Amino acid sequence: MKLSGVWFWFLTKLGEGHWPYKIDFSGLGGYLDSQRCCVVGVIRKNLPFLSRRGQRKVECLFDTGASSSFIRPSLVRVLGLSTADLPKPLRIRLGKGSTQVSEIAAVMIRLNGATLADTAYVMPGLTEDYVLGAEFLERYDIRLDPKRRRLLLPSKRRLSVILV
């Protein structure tokens, strides 16, 4: 069953070290284990990012609880990534309130031998360097195995034919 309505505040709780890996969502539906608990998909990996300044490894958080991808402003500057202003600032709801984002960044990531494009909100105060959210995971058919701390990837050929 697919979980709906997962809030972005989980990301904040994870950054603070308070997010359990199993949360009871039995009343909401969701990806449930045999104990009727949702297995939260969170995995950290160091991945090469490509930019006009070359290639650089970045610690990424693959997070099924985040709807979109997010990047730290300092990483945007270090990598020299292209950004664009949003037509209207967007308010992102977090566990301790909300934060406003006003730009997006174009990102190129190497994964399983393929170069994958992503668009990330530039988020001030982000506790992680880069968060890959559900949109990215669904676009490239990437599944998480949090129990074994691994990514379940389609073949390189299938990854490389997807255009954003």
> Is 113 part of a structural domain of the chain?
yes
The yes-or-no verdict on residue 45 having pLDDT over 50 is yes
Residue 83: inside a domain, yes or no? Answer: yes
Report the predicted TM-score, pTM, of the whole model to 2 decimal places. 0.71
Residue 20 lies in a domain: no
Q: What average pLDDT does range 84-94 have in this prediction?
A: 90
Q: Residue 103: is its pLDDT beyond 90?
A: yes
Q: Are 94 and 12 in contact (CB under 8 A)?
A: yes
The answer to whether the CB of 118 falls within 8 A of the CB of 159 is no
Q: What is the CATH number of the domain that holds 71?
A: 2.40.70.10
Q: What is the tally of structural domains in the chain?
A: 1
Show the DSSP H helices in 71-126 as ranges. Answer: 73-79
Could you tell me the two tokens for 115?
């170069």
Residue 147, domain member (yes or no): yes
